[in-house]
Each structure stands twice: as C-alpha cells, then as structure tokens.
Chains A and B, each alone.
Chain A
C-alpha cells in the first residue's frame, strides 16, 4: 500500500542546533515533493518545493534533499530558533494528486 511516513511525531532540539526531519514514502513515484509549516489552528504555509531530478534545494536557513532511490526527503533547519517551533508536513505530488504526511511537531527550546 502507499505510505508517507514522517520520522516521528515530535522532535525537541536546543536553540542554535540543526533540526533534521525525515519524510519516507513507499509505492509512490512523486514528480515533486513539498514541505509546509503549520502552526496550531492555522493552515499550512508553503516552504520549499523540490523536483524529482533535483538533489537539493536551499532557502535561507532551510535545506531539503530528495533521494528517489531511497524514497526519502530530508528537511533541515540550521541555526534553529524558538520561532521555528511548529508542525512540518511533507507532501508528495503524483499525477493529479497531492498526498500529505502526518507531520512532525518540532519544538526548539531556548
């Protein structure tokens, strides 16, 4: 069956450290993979998109990698700040569909 698994429900790290979130998928061949941030009671907000033929994408303190052989994407936040605390969702784009993972709740402690 098709699955999208994000590494853990919750991740706690210290301010200034790098947060690494994982998105693994099975039985999909996504053309694109996106990462969204969601704060409590709010809708998801787009962060980064990476295409199947791209290995890595960066935006400010954010970096995403996409390994179609391992069927995995890694999302990194460097020099993390308490304001980065939120739930992060990965989303796979396949023809005519977009599927979301359950998300990882990141808490950055001062």
Chain B
C-alpha cells in the first residue's frame, strides 16, 4: 500500500520562472492538501483539493494554484517565482470527512530552491 508520493524531490528554478509539483495520495484517500515549510518553520497551509475543486485556501497569493485529477492526484503550480518561495513543499492526503480529526499522511516533499 503506497503512501503519499511526491515528485520531483528537488528542484532549482530561477526567479520569475514557473514550477509544477506533483503528488499522488495514499491509496483510498480522496483529499489532498498542500503545505509550504520554510527552513526552521512549521508547515503553512496553502490549499486543499477535493473532488477536483479547491475547497479551502490559506493566506497565499494567486501565484499559487493547483489542480486535482479524477484519480485524486494533484499538482501545485507556482508562477513568477520569488526568492522567498524557496521551501519544502509538502503534500498530505486524507479522507475529506476525516480531514481534521484524524492523521494527515504526508509525503517527503519537494525541496524548491529559487535562485
């Protein structure tokens, strides 16, 4: 039973470029949440997808967008990259009905470096 998988593991981009990160949820999970974790900080909620729709969003600009596919996998897109976007991007999956009263299952993240 595969857990949450993310790709790529590492990425280096230049300011102003665009990036797409990918996530496959744990088998059976229908909800995907994305988090940004800066060095030395806790994960910050970006947004959550369920049934291919953005269900909730944290305090992130519109440069951050996402998508969920019929097979529940998800993408995070970041446009016009800034140096401050350098972080570990984490994907977490869950069942929608249980999202906040049961564990989140995290992938190992994508380390994005913007130069």
Contact = CB atoms under 8 A, between A and B. Distances in A.
B16 interface: no
State the main secondary structure of chain B at its contact with A: loop
Given A43-B108, A97-B56, A34 B103 contact: yes
A53 interface: no
A64 interface: no
Contacts of A45: 106
B101 A98 contact: no
A51 B99 CA distance: 14
A89 interface: yes
Contacts of A49: 101-103
Contact of B106 (A32, A44, A102): A44
For chain B, the bracket of interface size reads: 20 to 34
Interface residues of A, number: 26
Contact of A31 (B42, B56, B92, B100): B100
Contacts of B106: 43-45
A93 B42 contact: no
Interface string A92-110: 0111111111110000000
Nearest to A39: B108
6 contacts: A43-B109, A49-B102, A91-B42, A97-B56, A102-B40, A103-B42
